């Protein structure tokens, strides 16, 4: 199993370029199911979750090709299977994103029911409830969600809670429904809006994505299109948090600063100096960070996907901070690993109380999920001595060539087998 070995103590200096957003690319790749035409997607990050999605689509009969400009083309006229098998869904919950498009275009889908995962139970009841309201008949049989429908019928959907992939699944399904669908209490994440832009380029009529009410006027068919995936705001935030924690001065290129307002505000509160342009950010941190309290919540509030990275920042900050995780019930597993490096963290329910210590000390730690891995890498960058992070396959799900990018900023990071 591969590990990262990090020699801590070097500030980060230089420039880093941000990849396409994982959480926009995954639903956009699944949107290719909605058309028999060719969807060409640019700026697709090379990540394990993307490979898993392409395997899943390929297995269904999607024709995939890569052109010389690294655009990925998906042609859906030969799809012959509507099944997302357990073997793939168990490795990546986002496979649920094929459910809405399959039912909408083929009137049938059989998708393995995702189980719980490291960060929480993560049910998909909202996806199912929404599809039922659109007219699908859904049975849970032998661990599979089996959905059948004639043409879906537009309706008003009021989501019981804010769910990102739930909103995306229903928005995709509604594109080919008869009549108009209104999704209320929709997720406002920028990735939902990016998916809507892609769908609209394919001939869909989606309005309001990025807000909490999305209106979809159904059309009878979608066509091929080209779409460029938005920059990854969580990768951006992770590099910014790394600089705010380890110190240094870095320019982040090819990013989308306006998707990071809540994160930038917290970095400024921690003492970082930040400048932004339309697609770049510059961060400078010359001192020990100040402790920052935060609470995760759906966009535009502070993202759960940045909680672990800020936990590490608070571990070495001046002062005591509280971090409350409100989205997932088990997303504080990095705490016990950070303690191995000398962090002083108490946990009460979903709240961590972090007392900043003068220094962390390198140790062997284990990644438990994607963003927890990122927090351990940042901890390794600031700790004295060597930190080895085990099980970095979690990291490879969501960060493209992270050790290469960090090395270019002067970090002493090696991947070891």
**Site residues, ligand EPU (CB under 6 A):** 23, 26, 93-94, 120-127, 161, 163-166, 304-305, 327-328, 370-371, 398
Annotated catalytic residue within 30, 117, 198, 255: 117
Q: Residue 143, class by beta-carbon neighbours within 10 Å (0-12 exposed, 13-18 middle, 19+ buried)?
A: exposed
| Angle at which helices 164-175 and 22-31 cross, to 10° | 20
What's the closest the beta carbon of residue 45 comes to ligand EPU, in angstroms? 12
Nearest CB to ligand EPU, comparing residues 93 and 282: 93
Q: Residue 87, class by beta-carbon neighbours within 10 Å (0-12 exposed, 13-18 middle, 19+ buried)?
A: exposed
The angle subtended at Cα 312 by Cα 306 and Cα 314, nearest 5°, is: 100
Nearest CB to ligand EPU, comparing residues 26 and 332: 26
Contact of 220 with 195, CB cutoff 8 Å? no
Contact of 365 with 6, CB cutoff 8 Å? no
Nearest CB to ligand EPU, comparing residues 109 and 383: 109
The residues, ordered by sequence, that sit 6+ positions from 303 with a Cβ below 8 Å of its Cβ are: 233, 234, 237, 262, 263, 296
The Cα–Cα gap between 4 and 387 comes to 8
Active-site residue, 30 included? no
Nearest CB to ligand EPU, comparing residues 93 and 412: 93
The residues, ordered by sequence, that sit 6+ positions from 142 with a Cβ below 8 Å of its Cβ are: none
Alpha helices in 72-148 (DSSP H): 86-89, 99-106, 125-133
Please name which of 2, 5, 1, 9 lies closest in space to residue 410, comparing C-alpha atoms: 9
What's the closest the beta carbon of residue 98 comes to ligand EPU, in angstroms? 12
Nearest CB to ligand EPU, comparing residues 49 and 363: 49
The Cα–Cα gap between 176 and 221 comes to 6
**Tokens representing 262?**
């809540």
Structure letter (DSSP) for residue 153: B
What's the closest the beta carbon of residue 114 comes to ligand EPU, in angstroms? 9
The Cα–Cα gap between 331 and 313 comes to 17
What's the closest the beta carbon of residue 259 comes to ligand EPU, in angstroms? 13
The Cα–Cα gap between 114 and 122 comes to 8
Residues serving a catalytic function are 117
């Amino acid at each position: 199993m591969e590990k990262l070995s990090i020699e801590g103590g070097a500030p980060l200096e230089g420039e880093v370029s941000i990849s396409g957003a994982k959480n926009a690319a995954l639903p956009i790749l699944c949107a290719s199911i909605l058309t028999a035409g060719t969807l060409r997607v640019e700026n697709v990050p090379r990540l394990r979750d993307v490979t898993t999605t392409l395997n899943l689509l390929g297995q269904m009969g999607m024709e995939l090709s890569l052109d010389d400009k690294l655009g990925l083309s998906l042609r859906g006229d030969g799809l012959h299977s509507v099944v997302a098998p357990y073997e793939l869904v168990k490795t990546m919950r986002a496979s649920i994103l094929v459910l809405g498009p399959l039912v909408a275009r083929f009137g049938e889908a059989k998708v393995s029911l995702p189980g719980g995962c490291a960060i929480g139970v993560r049910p998909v009841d909202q996806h199912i409830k929404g599809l039922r309201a659109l007219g699908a008949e859904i049975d849970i049989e032998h661990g599979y969600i089996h959905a059948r429908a004639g043409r879906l019928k537009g309706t008003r959907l009021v989501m019981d809670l804010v769910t990102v992939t739930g909103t995306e699944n229903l928005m995709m399904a509604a594109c080919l429904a008869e009549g108009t669908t209104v999704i209320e209490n929709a997720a406002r994440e920028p990735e939902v809006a990016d998916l809507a832009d892609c769908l609209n380029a394919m001939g869909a009529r989606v309005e309001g994505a990025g807000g909490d009410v999305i209106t979809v006027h159904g059309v009878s068919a979608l066509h091929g299109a080209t779409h460029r995936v938005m920059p990854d705001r969580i990768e951006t935030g992770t590099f910014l948090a790394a600089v705010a924690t380890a110190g240094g001065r870095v320019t982040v290129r090819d990013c989308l600063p306006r998707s990071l307002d809540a994160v930038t505000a917290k970095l400024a509160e921690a003492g970082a100096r930040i400048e932004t342009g339309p697609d770049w950010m510059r961060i400078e941190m010359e001192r020990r960070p100040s402790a920052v309290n935060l609470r995760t919540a759906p966009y535009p509030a502070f993202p759960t996907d940045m909680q672990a990275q800020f936990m590490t920042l608070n571990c070495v900050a001046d002062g005591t901070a509280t971090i409350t995780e409100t989205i997932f019930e088990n997303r504080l597993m990095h705490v016990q690993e950070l303690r191995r490096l000398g962090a002083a963290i108490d946990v009460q329910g979903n709240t961590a109380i972090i007392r900043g210590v003068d220094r962390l000390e390198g140790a062997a730690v284990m990644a438990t999920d994607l963003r927890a891995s990122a927090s351990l890498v940042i901890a390794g960058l600031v700790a004295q001595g060597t930190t080895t992070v085990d099980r970095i396959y979690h990291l490879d799900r969501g960060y493209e060539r992270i050790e290469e990018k960090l090395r270019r900023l002067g970090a002493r990071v090696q991947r070891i087998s």
